[in-house]
Amino acid sequence: MITASPPVKETKNYLNNEKGIKSWLLTGDHKRIAILYLISVTAFFALGGVFASLIRLELATPAGDLLESNQYNKVFTMHGILMVFFFLIPSIPATLGNFLIPMMIGAKDLAFPKINLLSWYIYIVGGIFTLYVLLTGGVDTGWTFYTPFSTSYSNGYVIAAGLGIFINGFSSILTGLNFIVTIHRMRAPGLTWFRLPLFVWAHYATSAIMILGTPVVAVTLFLVVLERGFHIGFFDPAYGGDPVLFQHLFWFYSHPAVYIMILPSMGVISEVISTFSSKKPFGYTFIAFSSVAIAVFGFLVWGHHLFVAGQSIYAGLVFSVLSYIVAIPSAIKVFNWAATMYKGQVRLETPMLYALGFIGLFTVGGLTGIFLSSLGMDVHLTDTYFVVAHFHYVMVGGALLGYLAGIHFWWPKIFGRMYSSVWSKVSAALVFVGFNLTFFPQFLLGYMGMPRRYHVYPPEFQVFNVLSSAGASVLALGLILPAIYLTWSLKHGEIASANPWGATGLEWQTASPPITENFEVTPVVTTEAYDYSTQQEVVHVG
């Protein structure tokens, strides 16, 4: 009914109902806060990308000719901190999750709008600490802050960087809390748990990890600050501490944090594949519960980062077998996504291309993860480029492609405009090819034995490093394109209808962009999720 409605000038929506910078900075609207996050995570991503480019430029030759060792160490540290804590962790939950969760459950806003705004401000304060570190001379500990290097030997600004991440952690905790309360308390009439979109299930599981895990890393980094600042011995044997204790505490959060990054992406992929196959996701309950299983088992595998760190072999055995078990829910998801397309009506629009790319890359990322879960294999592979390649397949191939799929999918809803179909497909192809060219050679480098975080390396590793750097430039191009055509679409894009993709969620049953209250009348849900038989015929756009 609303499809292809003619553009009406000055329709009231959340974007234009109030004007001025103050109306944005003091907003309580989850959709506006999502856009504040969108702008800030994009900025941090761009900055992290600059550092990634410096790394790949330096590694194009075996000698350390572009940067000095200390500079190189600061560059990869900054790349890691910015990408992990300031892009990947908040990326989907704080932008798409913030925007969509109330809309998907038929609510007017999150449960605590002011806390939602507060978490953005906390994120910004954490970011300012990190930028301060960057501008005053950097930090060279790696994003992992291993002790006693970070507490007693690093000559960078460890305290400021640690505090930045400590502060930023509270932003995650508050977002998770807000989501959980909202999902429990604010669902529209008739929207039972098993009618929820899988995106909401994924965010529910993610929020649980944020609330339970983030305090641990916050406290751990605080202990690092105490030891470095006041020589209170926790980790450095010189003060009577235990250096491996830090690794246990750090990975107790940072391994589940991987699932904070990937679960929301999985939620996006479930929505996108279903929509562009016009078919209910295959094995809905299996996909939903696999998110919960990942969140639970994700907390029990941290020790697989410590196989060679002097951990008892019996502890290693337990962590190894649990790591295999946590891989199974991910495998279930991949097979279910593929099966969703079976007997569907598949349309290869841009979000779908990104989603299919996600499945391919995440499969490789997951499978190489099980190499590292195997004790004897991990001894050879850990701390080499194999690990670097593995987690980039999961973090970039998985989390980032899921984010891009989601941004392209909901862009018409968020801004009411379509983007260039052609350019966006070119970008999806470039990202896929560039990504593989960048990171696949790193698996081979890793097995050859090239350690990670090496500024200079023996000449026999050069061939693969050159391939990787070449791939990085293709990847960079593929990532710059969306910034251009998406920005261009804000003014010049075709006006989007309420439901341009023929999707089923509640968010598509209100105007694009939505009004501030999201819905004219609170929707009442009477059917299962993903019932495509009730949809209008899709008018192809773009």
Partner 1 sequence: MTLEPKSFQLFPEQASNFAPTVDALYTYMVVVSAFFSLLVAFLIVYFAVKYRKRPGQGIPAPVNDHSIGSMILEITWSVIPLGLSLVMFAWGASIMFHESRPPKDALSIYVTGKRWMWKIQHLEGAREINELHVPVDRDVKLTMTSEDVIHDFFVPAFRTKADVLPGRYTTEWFRPTKVGAYHIFCAEYCGTKHSGMIGTVYVLSAADYDAWLAHGSGEGSLAEQGESLFNQLGCANCHVKDGHGRAPNLYGAFGTKVDLSDGTSVRIDESYIRESVLYPQAKIVAGYDRIMPTFKGLISDEGMLKLIEYIKSLGNENGANAPARNLSMESPDLQKTGTMAVPMSEMKAPAAAKTTSTEKKQ
Residues 223-242 that bind partner 1 (CB under 8 A): 236-238, 240
Q: Report if residue 277 touches partner 1, rule: CB under 8 A.
A: yes
Figure out which of the listed residues 26, 128, 456, 539 binds partner 1, where binding follows CB under 8 A. Answer: 456
Cα–Cα dist 429/104, whole Å: 30
Cα–Cα dist 503/484, whole Å: 26
Closest separation between CB of residue 208 and partner 1, Å?
A: 23
Q: Binders of partner 1 among 59-88, rule CB under 8 A? A: 64, 69-70, 73
Cβ proximity to partner 1, 35 vs 428, nearer residue? 428
Q: 486 with 67: CB under 8 angstroms?
A: no
Closest separation between CB of residue 192 and partner 1, Å?
A: 17
Q: Report if residue 344 touches partner 1, rule: CB under 8 A.
A: yes
Tokens standing for residue 458: 């023996």
Phi and psi angles of residue 384, each rounded to the nearest 5 degrees, phi first: -110, 180
> Binding-site residue total for partner 1 (CB under 8 A)?
98
Closest separation between CB of residue 359 and partner 1, Å?
A: 6
Sign, Cα dihedral of 99, 105, 109, 115: negative
Q: Report if residue 460 touches partner 1, rule: CB under 8 A.
A: yes
Q: 305 with 312: CB under 8 angstroms?
A: no
Closest separation between CB of residue 453 and partner 1, Å?
A: 4
Closest separation between CB of residue 388 and partner 1, Å?
A: 12
Figure out which of the listed residues 43, 181, 211, 444 binds partner 1, where binding follows CB under 8 A. Answer: 444
Closest separation between CB of residue 288 and partner 1, Å?
A: 12
Cβ proximity to partner 1, 132 vs 440, nearer residue? 440
CA dist list (Å): 302 to 128, 149, 197, 251, 418: 30, 21, 30, 5, 43
Q: Binders of partner 1 among 104-133, rule CB under 8 A? A: none
DSSP states of 357-402 as a string? HHHHHHHHHHHHHHHHHSHHHHHHHTTBHHHHHHHHIIIIIIIIHH
Q: Binders of partner 1 among 324-343, rule CB under 8 A? A: 324-325, 327-328, 331-332, 334-336, 338-339, 341-343
Q: Report if residue 451 touches partner 1, rule: CB under 8 A.
A: yes
29-60 burial by CB neighbour count: b if 16+ within 10 A, else e? bbbbbbbbbbebbbebbebbbebbbbbbbbbe
Q: Report if residue 279 touches partner 1, rule: CB under 8 A.
A: yes
Closest separation between CB of residue 293 and partner 1, Å?
A: 11
Q: Report if residue 470 touches partner 1, rule: CB under 8 A.
A: no
Return the closest-CA partner of residue 44 out of 76, 81, 72: 81
Closest separation between CB of residue 279 and partner 1, Å?
A: 7
Cα–Cα dist 85/143, whole Å: 9
Q: 167 with 126: CB under 8 angstroms?
A: yes
Figure out which of the listed residues 186, 346, 470, 525 binds partner 1, where binding follows CB under 8 A. Answer: 346
Cβ proximity to partner 1, 157 vs 519, nearer residue? 157
Figure out which of the listed residues 384, 420, 469, 516 binds partner 1, where binding follows CB under 8 A. Answer: 384
Cα–Cα dist 370/373, whole Å: 5
Q: Which window, 89-97, 428-436, 489-497, 533-541, contacts partner 1 (CB under 8 A)?
A: 533-541
Q: Binders of partner 1 among 362-381, rule CB under 8 A? A: 363-364, 367-368, 370-371, 373-380
Figure out which of the listed residues 449, 517, 525, 541 binds partner 1, where binding follows CB under 8 A. Answer: 449
Q: Report if residue 454 touches partner 1, rule: CB under 8 A.
A: yes
Cα–Cα dist 303/322, whole Å: 10
Closest separation between CB of residue 116 and partner 1, Å?
A: 35
Q: Binders of partner 1 among 283-322, rule CB under 8 A? A: 283-286, 307-310, 313, 316-317, 320-321
Secondary structure, 3-state, 50-118? HHHHHHHHHCCCCCCCCCCHHHHHHHHHHHHHHHHHHHHHHHHHHHHHHHHHHHHCCCCCCCCHHHHHH
CA dist list (Å): 211 to 20, 132, 218, 302: 34, 27, 11, 17
Q: Report if residue 448 touches partner 1, rule: CB under 8 A.
A: yes
Q: Binders of partner 1 among 164-223, rule CB under 8 A? A: none
Cβ proximity to partner 1, 109 vs 378, nearer residue? 378
Return the closest-CA partner of residue 124 out of 14, 3, 41, 189: 41
Cβ proximity to partner 1, 123 vs 464, nearer residue? 464
Q: Which window, 36-44, 103-111, 459-467, 472-480, contacts partner 1 (CB under 8 A)?
A: 459-467
Secondary structure letter of residue 317 according to DSSP: H
Cβ proximity to partner 1, 35 vs 437, nearer residue? 437
Three-class DSSP category at 458: coil
134 to 153: interface string for partner 1, x by CB under 8 A: ------x-x-x-x-xx--xx
Return the closest-CA partner of residue 209 out of 181, 164, 173, 155: 173
Q: Report if residue 50 touches partner 1, rule: CB under 8 A.
A: no
Residues whose CB is less than 8 angstroms from the CB of residue 39 and which lie 6 or more positions away in sequence, other chains included = none
Figure out which of the listed residues 160, 186, 188, 244 binds partner 1, where binding follows CB under 8 A. Answer: 244
